[in-house]
Structure 1
Amino acid sequence: MSDVDKSGVAQTENVSGKPRRRGCLGHCAKFWWAYLILVVVIVVVVVPVVLLVAVPKIAQQKLDDAELILDGISVYNTQGQNMTMSINSTIKTDGSVHADIEGFVGDMYLEDHKPHTPFARVNFPATTADAFQTVNVTQFLPIHDVEALTIFNTWLLANRTLRVTVQGDTNVRVRGIARNYPVTFKKTVTTPGLRMLEGTVVNPEWIGIESDENGNNFRATTIIPNHSRVSFELGNTTFHNYLLGKEVGTVFIDGLTLRPGLNEYPMRATIKNDAVIEVLGQKPYCEEGGVLPFQIRGKTVVNNGQALPYFADALASANQTIDIPIGAAVNKSLGIVIPCGGLGGGGEKRKRSSLLF
């Protein structure tokens, strides 16, 4: 191709491009108002949608993803219609959203018991969405539902673990946005139970033929383990006392408060000596040093002069078996060793036996 031809081609290409640029600029100049309307529509429609829909969903999702750790609960100053409750807890989040959460009333209920009737309503304080948040609250708590509280205490007593849910409606304000968004706080935590106070130990100190000034003929020291994270102020507590299915007396523990860990208290009781002596002479107990399988079951709980049925009924829901070395106490206090077959011989054994019956 000649130089003239090349020049002609170049001129053709240049001429064909210029009208396109002028057409695009002309289109924008002619319809600028349409683009302005489009921008306004985006601002008016999309931004509110983000603020009204996306932000609340993100806030709720972040709240749902947060972890609630129940560090401990203390229940004290217990009375018939109210108590004081302290809750120590920790909330963990990923810390990606900077927001403030309003205080709210949280219903506490057993997750695995229907219907979900709250056993307590607690005023939780305002918090933030920081990665690590300590939430402690102490509140004078009216008892709105004694039955629900009794069921909770019964489950706590009987189970190794139980699930407790805290639920309440509140508002979140994301920092930088001048409005509140409604959200629901709902967290279920698994917490250790009391395991029927398994591991309770009773160390007898004295057993008498005659009752003392309180009407008791048995004294001991008891060590009661609390496997849970809940502290209870029960007060003066009494128990039915059974031996091989027969009621043989009443056990008393005064001023009882169960804190997590081991709790040591003096115990006193009124027991039927004849029933105990009879079983001590039976096999296999006479061959095992006189260790007898007593059972106790809750009878009454009184604190501040008021009956506490939400504790008493829970303790009465099941029997607890405790092996007590009662034979050693009889030997120590009365100087008697009960042989297999009982005190059926003559002489000194018969004389001492008559004192017990």
Structure 2
Amino acid sequence: MDKQPEDKQPEYTQTENVAEKPRKRGCAGHCLKFWWAYLIAVIVIVVIVVPVVILVGVPKIAQQKLDHAELILDSIVMTNARAQNFTMSINTEIKSDGKVKATIEPFEGVMYLEDLPEHKPFAKVHFPETTSAKSQIINITQFTMIDDLDAFTTFNTWLLHNETFRVTVEGDTKVHVKGIARAYGVTFKKTIDMPGLRMLDGTTVTNTTVNATAPKGQNNFFGTVRIPNYSKVAFELGNTSFHNYLLDKEIGTVYLDNLSLKPGNDNVYPMRATIDDLGYVTGLAVQKPYCDKLNGVLPFKLRGKSVINHGESLSYFADALASGNQTVQIDIRGTVKRSMGFTLGCTDE
């Protein structure tokens, strides 16, 4: 047998199998040795982190939830209108995700036109206590002072002229989150799109009659007026009068007594008018194109003159109604036929 060379050593492969139990014992020992450091860490979390969450995180979350909530306007009703105040009822619904259980304190909010840069409040709303429920109906009825007559008149003017416009409700309040004793300051701010009156477009005058023998200065024209209200606002106006124009010539005054406009197309009222020159009206009705192509129908224009309710002048309504003209078509040929029994033709026939 040959002898192996002395400089060549046998090869070995070594595998170490480290057991887990000694490591666990080392971790437990480490914790036992440095228990005071872990205690300090817990104290730091309780003393610093938790207050930061309560003072910063919770208010931020509460404000975000309030910002994401939706305010839905169902109706506004204005009654008992006086020169400096009125009664306002607002019916709304607030919708949210309902994930944070909280209560919002009562607060006073202001209403202003969002698209006017100065954001001058035209009314104040006293909101009751509310919750963060997914859906909550809020009905408010309150006595409302008119603190800024110009701002309130501007609101009524925008409401009259526009098809839609934006109104913002804003106010500061406090929120109470369930399980936390502290109350947090938040801002309630919601902008809603409101449908307007569209200048009362679609107003009709029917069943018209004329009294040609009425004494001068007394009512001599009568009919039935139907006024559409495309908005969600109901008004108690009172006794309302309008300047009456025919081809840009003022011919008299139209009166609507005890006028109150509710949303919809069911605002039907008797109309009376004083026309200073009936001959001018019937004279146009027998001229072309009114006598032939338009069948005796004339375009009258109405512009607000006065609004009187409970013996007080309501300038905020009157000025809004005076801010523009509305054209109403009236069948003069039919009026004369019903009242006098004969038919108006054309003068050149």
* Fold shared per TM-score above 0.5: yes
Q: Contact 2:69 / 2:95 at 8 angstroms: preserved in 1?
A: yes
Deviation string for 1:258-278 (max 9, x for gaps)?
001120000000012022022
Matched, 1:253 2:256: yes
The code of the aligned residue for 2:279 comes to: D
1:175 aligned partner: 178
Q: CA deviation at 1:26?
A: 4.0
Deviations for 1:58-101, whole angstroms, at most 9, x for unmatched residues? Answer: 11111111111000000000000000000000000111111001
Question: Structure 2: any 5+ residue segments left out of the alignment?
Answer: 1-11
- Matched residue of 2:194: which SS? strand
Aligned to 1:315: 321
Query: Does the C-alpha gap of structure 1 residues 294 and 9 become closer, same or farther in structure 2, counting only changes over 3 Å?
Result: closer
- Backbone CA RMSD of aligned residues: 2.2
Unmatched 5+ stretches in structure 1: 346-357
Which of the numbers 327, 339, 343 marks the counterpart of 1:337? 343
1:298 aligns with 2:311: no
Q: Aligned AA for 2:54?
A: L
| 1-structure distance, mates of 2:258, 2:21 | 99
Counterpart Cα distance in 2 of 1:338 and 1:213: 23
In the TM superposition, what are the counterparts of 1:74-153 in structure 2 within 5 Å?
Answer: 74-153=77-156
The answer to whether the 8 A contact 2:217-2:274 is kept is no
Alignment partner of 1:283 out of 267, 288, 292? 288
Q: CA deviation at 1:281?
A: 1.9
In the TM superposition, residue 205 of structure 1 has moved relative to its aligned partner by 3.1
The DSSP-based 3-state class of the residue aligned with 1:299 is strand
Taking a change above 3 Å as real, the CA distance of residues 57 and 281 of structure 1, as seen in their structure-2 partners, is same
Percent identity of equivalent pairs = 59
**Aligned position for 1:189:** 192
Counterpart AA for 1:275: Y
More displaced, 282-291 or 298-307? 282-291
1:179 counterpart letter in structure 2: R
Alignment of 1:180-219 (within 5 A): 180-211=183-214, 215-219=218-222
**Cα distance per residue 1:263-297 (max 9 Å; x no partner):** 00000000120220221122110112210000000
Give the deviation of 1:17 after TM superposition.
7.8
How many equivalent residue pairs? 335
Moved more, 266-275 or 199-208: 199-208
Does residue 233 of structure 1 match 2:236? yes
Compared CA separation, residues 17 and 72, structure 1 to 2 (3 A)? closer
* Distance (Å, rounded) in 1 between the aligned partners of 2:18 and 2:87: 90
For residue 286 of structure 1, give the secondary structure of its aligned residue in structure 2.
Answer: coil
Q: Counterpart of 2:279?
A: 274
Residues 292-328 of structure 1: per-residue CA shift (max 9 Å, x gap): 0000000000000000000000000000001111221
- Cα 1:212–1:182, aligned 2, differ >3 Å: closer, same or farther? farther
Secondary structure at 2:339 match in 1? helix
TM-score when normalising by structure 1 = 0.89
* DSSP-derived class of the 2:291 partner: helix
Query: Using the alignment, how far apart are the partners of 1:308 and 1:94 within structure 2?
Result: 43
TM-fit CA distance, 1:162: 1.1
Change (3 A) 1:337 1:118: same
The residue type paired with residue 220 of structure 1 is: G
The 2-side partners of 1:276 and 1:213 are apart by: 16
Residue 52 (str. 1) matches residue 55 (str. 2): yes
- Name the residue aligned to 2:4: none
Using the alignment, how far apart are the partners of 1:131 and 1:210 within structure 2?
A: 66
Decide which structure has greater helix share.
1
SS at match of 1:164: strand
Map Cα deviations across residues 188-238 of structure 1 (whole Å, 9 max, x no partner). Answer: 111211111111110143201122798100010000011111000000000
Give, in whole Å, the separation in 1 of the partners of 2:137 and 2:205: 39
Distance 1:26 1:141 in 2: 73
Q: Which amino acid is the alignment partner of residue 326 of structure 1?
A: I
Deviates more, 1:96-105 or 1:197-206: 197-206
> Closer, same or farther in 2 for the Cα pair 1:176/1:13, shift >3 Å?
closer
